Amino acid sequence: MFEGLKSRLQKVQQKLGSSIKAAVASTPEEEEVQQPQIRDTSSVQVETVLSEIPTASEADEVVSSTVVESFLEPEVVPEPIVTPVVRQDLSPKVKQPAEEPSIVTPVPEKKEKVGFFKKMKVFVKERELILAESDVKDVLDELEMVLLENDVALPVTEEILRHIRHDLIGSHRKIGTSPDLIVMETLKDALLDVLGEGFDLPAYIRTHDRPVKILFTGVNGTGKTTTVAKVGAFLLKNGFSVVIGAGDTFRAGAIEQIDIHAERLGIKVIQHQQGGDPSAVLFDTVQYAISHQIDVVLADTAGRFHNRANLMNQLAKVKRVMKPDLVVYVDEAVAGNDAVIRAEEFEKTVGADAVVLTKADMDPKGGAAISIAHTIGKPLMFLGVGQGYEDLIPFTPATVVDDLLGGES
């Protein structure tokens, strides 16, 4: 689905990542400057001075050896006693504790100071990249062409580019952040912003009074009647009871077509003769649902263009009589911008609460799916992706964006 747009978006995504990498590479690196080491010499000088002063133990040892030698010598002729002259040691005396033979001088613990160069190193490691317009201009120009060539409406394209510029240009990004991650998050946010939130039909039915009345409108040949049958199959699978009103009394074969679908699915159909008043058919369908406690009424109507005044007036009458809870506009994805314009006109004339796009599997571009919700301000409910009754998928914006960008939820 949307393979053409997907491949081109992923190429732009890679180029945008390369542009950011180039901007990171061009950011000047600050070199780390080593601080000069200052040696503390005060403790060395103190130790040198102290080593020159004799200790008390050394002095005692000298005196003891002298006494022992004089005692062991044989007695000879007594000689006159000469009193030795003891020179007074004028060097400063240092009192030493008796228990410790040497002096241990504690060295104060040095506290590391954070200087200018250290701070600069931290700043460089934690610096941020600020992207300029020139860093991504060429890639954004290419992205604009990719979106427009794939049928994305001009206002939607401009909104996507505005969102990307707002997120990237002038914003502060950590240098270590992966450029691929930056690009993925930016593109994803921009696309989700225009796609809206989708529409959870089962949740809506559970929170509203029964029967929930759903009116399907749209132009000719877009697969509206088949979509009614697919929605019926989807609701049955989710545990709801359904009745279909054959309100397309204008097109030849429309009643027979919805009859065949309903018979295959086991759904009751309320119908009148061809050419009858569709308002009367749908009024009877609602009354049947009320009396039989049916959960959901699905109302088919004839296809019509917004510029056919008589048919649009007829549709307005159907709305007044049926009083639908939801009006669902059905168009085909392959119509591209035409589908967006028609949806906008239907919204102005009869209103719409949600959109279903058929033939999405045949649309390589995907522009209508991206544009329609943002253009008319109404959510996409389903995408038709095949001919089978099960080929109707609830539109989940996050899943579609992940598929387009090659990411994971």
Residue 360 labelled as part of a binding site: yes
Residue 370's nearest CA partner among 163, 128, 101 is 163
Q: Is the torsion defined by CA of 220, 222, 228, 229 positive or negative?
A: positive
Residue 409's nearest CA partner among 124, 144, 192 is 192
Residue 222 labelled as part of a binding site: yes
Residue 224 labelled as part of a binding site: yes
Residue 224's nearest CA partner among 190, 258, 187 is 258
The residues pairing with 172 across neighbouring beta strands, listed in sequence order, are 130
Residue 225 labelled as part of a binding site: yes
Residue 277 labelled as part of a binding site: no
Residue 358 labelled as part of a binding site: yes
Distance CA 361, CA 295 (A): 30
Residue 303 labelled as part of a binding site: yes
Classify residue 408 as exposed, middle or buried by CB count within 10 Å of its CB (0-12, 13-18, 19+): exposed
Instruction: Output the DSSP codes for 217-276.
Output: EE-TTSSHHHHHHHHHHHHHHTT--EEEEEE--SSTTHHHHHHHHHHHHT-EEE---TTS
Residue 337 labelled as part of a binding site: no
Residue 27 labelled as part of a binding site: no
Residue type, position 306, single letter: H
The residues pairing with 332 across neighbouring beta strands, listed in sequence order, are 358
Residue 301 labelled as part of a binding site: yes
Q: What is the H or E stretch that residue 128 is in? A: strand 128-130
Residue 56 labelled as part of a binding site: no
Q: What is the H or E stretch that residue 380 is in? A: strand 380-384
Positions at the binding site: 218-225, 300-304, 358-361
Positions at the binding site for GTP: 218-225, 300-304, 358-361
